[in-house]
Structure 1
């Protein structure tokens, strides 16, 4: 409700010049008083509100809410601290895992390198054992027929110099002007730790025929390691019996002949039996010698010469 205003009347007297001379201190002073009268109902309401006490229920709710806010803040703080510690621990574990994984990968790579090196050393050891075994069992073995000194050190070939490799064997085709009997030819081969050629396949016979050439007359050929024993039995120099022959004509029986391989247009018909005392060229055969890889040199494929 709006405040009420109280009004009072004010009287103004006319100005008198004569009395103006009178000392101002003696003049009466008039005051106008304006009083503001407040609404009684408003004052009563204010006074009544100020005097109303706070309910205990509201006070308990306020305390509970305050305590709840405090507990909630404390819980959030604890969760934040726990999360920070957990994340830090997780990051440390992840970093350690990454580091150990990288180390593990490096170890696996090193292991693979070591396995390869081990396999290489095992292979090299086997090669050296095979080479040593070959040398031990060849009383006439001479290293200079296989190995030569070069600017890069010693280099060795699978076959002796001037021999030709075919498969697992090396062959020497004698083409000089000095000829020998079958027995002498066998001794010439033994100087290299070899023997007269033993032919046991069509492919080998074709290879032999490919590297032979006609010389002197049609009766001369190349001695191979086949000879006749008692009872018309044909035997190779290693003691094995003949299983398949490549004869031009059926051989004679009972004369103890030896066999020449003749140059022929048909490789499968090129063997001829002849007296073992006839002098002719010869063909030697020896197994391939496998050297350790650090001693191996390029194979010698040149044609044999004296």
Structure 2
């Protein structure tokens, strides 16, 4: 068969047109195919060829089916997997949303508290500033008053003498004890109260017999100063004093005390009757 084909092929003239060459070749091939009769051996070979070609298609079909099954199983598995993941993600998202909402509320509450505290702080700051100004004003006023007081302490009024932390007024006339005290009160002072040896010696050196602010007119033998405090120490009684007139009616009740300038400075107190008129000493404590 093939030799005939090749022989016919060698018989073509190269000088003929291409269209004619193609027509003759086709006709010759068709004639050769019709004339071809396969032998029994050829049938066996063809059958083998057919079976050989059928088996790969079968294997391919089986493989393709298995791949489809695997693919379907994979798709189902992925669907289940991603469904579980999506469910878990949804729950997690809800939890996060809840946490976010809670934190937002807490943040808003903290912001409200902060705003409230800020307002209170501003009020306190305003109050503090006001009090600071008032304090400064009071400090200024105190300084002014202190300066005035210092000036007054340094300058004694006319007729007064300064000793330590007090001013003393020595009268130039005589009165009873009660009248003398009234005069002192009118001057913004009181009859002198003696608290130390130095003060007693200062008054003694004035060389005057004068009333002092000591009496037992409320309770006999209980001597008190004009401010109500009891006499404790020091005491500057003259010897045998106080004697309350030594029991002699003509002297009467001797309930008031004078300083006499005829004894030692620390033994110069005498109790005498209120009706006697003497000079007096007023004291104003600074």
TM-score scaled to structure 1, two decimals?
A: 0.47
Instruction: Select the structure with the greater relative contact order (CA < 8 A; seq sep ≥ 6).
Output: 1
Name the structure where helix makes up a greater proportion of residues.
Answer: 2
Question: Is the strand fraction higher in 1 or 2?
Answer: 1
TM-score by length of 2: 0.49
Structure possessing the higher radius of gyration over alpha carbons = 2
